[in-house]
Structure 1
Amino acid sequence: MRVASVIDLGENSTVPPHRRVILDTDIGSDVDDALALALLLGSPTARLIGITTVYGDTVLRARLAARVAGSAGWTGPVHAGRAETLSGKEVWWAGHEGALYDDLDAERVASENAVQYLIDQVAAAPGAIDVVAIGPLTNIATAISADERFAGSVRHLYVMGGAFGDDEPEHNFRSDVAAARIVFAAGIPTTVAALEITRQVRIEQESLDRIAAAGELGRILLAEIEQWWRYWDATWNVPHDPVTVLTMTEPELFTYSAPGRISVADDGTSILHEGEGTTRIVTALDGNAVADRIVDGVVRAGRAG
């Protein structure tokens, strides 16, 4: 049974039928960012108004996001953001980012920095825009620090990150501990999907034919999935980021903790302190059902494009 709380969980009747969303992503390494973007584009309840990129070569990531989204017919703005982490930790780079594409330089990237775009959009519409953050939290933390209006104006923040219940640090939190601490101290209503939850979901071989048949977007995603499988010498992958998108678009698929406060240790490990706070974490899901919804949404986006 889901636990209700006083924080805005994004499930009440006052939510507009098409919520406005900004996706903050480190697309290009793990295929799950591209899958999350496709899932957002295929959602009947979300309207993606902009994309911001973070971590490493953010211009390349922005061009990749524009190419993937454009294949589904989306023509919104893509903004490159912070390349370096606030913590100073070196950026991890797989090396295959962008390798599948020709003429990426032709993809248009907005001139405005991602952090300023986030501030301008959210501050201009207080309580109206959700932010989905599926990379290190550097852009979000920088926006919080740069403008006091930002944290109080985000309707709800959805984060892929952390690991609760064991001692393993997760990539997004570990990559920029300083940013994670700023974000979770800001008081933004937040939902977190962490490793112990996302790892219960797999995209496996039987899903690939359906994805591949979903137009140009499907063909792009198939190539990205196969590239990621080769990188790990595997025949499946964990869709961490699409799971996070579903906590926003289909929250009824999940069970949640009571709201509390997240602390992040120097090594990136995380703890939820239940009680007074504005953050909840996902505590349970049906892995097969969630995997089916992810593939359904991706296919819907591809066919619409």
Structure 2
Amino acid sequence: MTVSGIKDFIINGVYKELKLLEEKTRILKLLIRDDQAVLERKRMVWTRLGVVGQFQSHKLFEYDHEVLNDYLNSLGILPKMASIDSNLLTNEQLLDLEGYSTPGIGYVRYTPNFWGKIDCRVSSDKYNYYLTLPLRNKVKVWRDLFIKKEALCKIWEKERLQAVTAEEFQQAKKISLYSGSLSLQTTPIKYQAAHVLRLFGSKTLIQCARIEVEKFDEYAARGYLKLSDLSLCRKIIDVQERYYLMTLQAEEEKRKHWDLRLSRLSELSQLS
């Protein structure tokens, strides 16, 4: 593998096109959201265009992590549910965990320089054109641009993935281009909660463990805890209204994923 694919994507202006499409679809989504809000419609479907727009309420919680972790540890399930925030471990502890760590995953980052910086701002004329379009026309333009953006995004991610094993990165972790640089990065190293517990004890685990909220549904379905128990260690700090604009195909895939999750939780509940 080489970095020729990702370099061509940048040099030939495709990366710039992708960034411009991201900004145009972002602006159109905001305009569509505002139009739908004026109509006081929580959900609108443009069937022939294959697009749906929907407002949804989203609760933001503040967690008392140590109270939560202490409670889960008393149930004996904290090591099974938790990931580890390595920033809360000392350098000595991280050294002791080296033999038990899971290496991070490599990825390639492109950093534009002065010559590669892209001005994604939409011109006033283009913005006013979008603004004056009827709602259905806005949705159509958004859909067409969104499809193009997604296609280019898939190509970009594919090139980034292939570049991870490029021969050039065997010589150096950073490759200079006229428009910027490509650098080989890695995601954070992961540590198992069970290893932290075994090496440093429950006090350290309670301090540095972090729980994936989705895990609560799974363990509640298995009968280990009640979702109402969360009220002991979290409080609502805000309720936000978020707007989702997506293709009907994407919504259907999202629904199938959710149905599969509910089915799995139901099976776990029956087994408990």
Relative contact order, CA 8 A, sep 6+: which one is greater?
2
**Larger-Rg structure:** 2
Using the size of structure 1 for normalisation, the TM-score is 0.20
Name whichever structure is richer in helix by fraction.
2
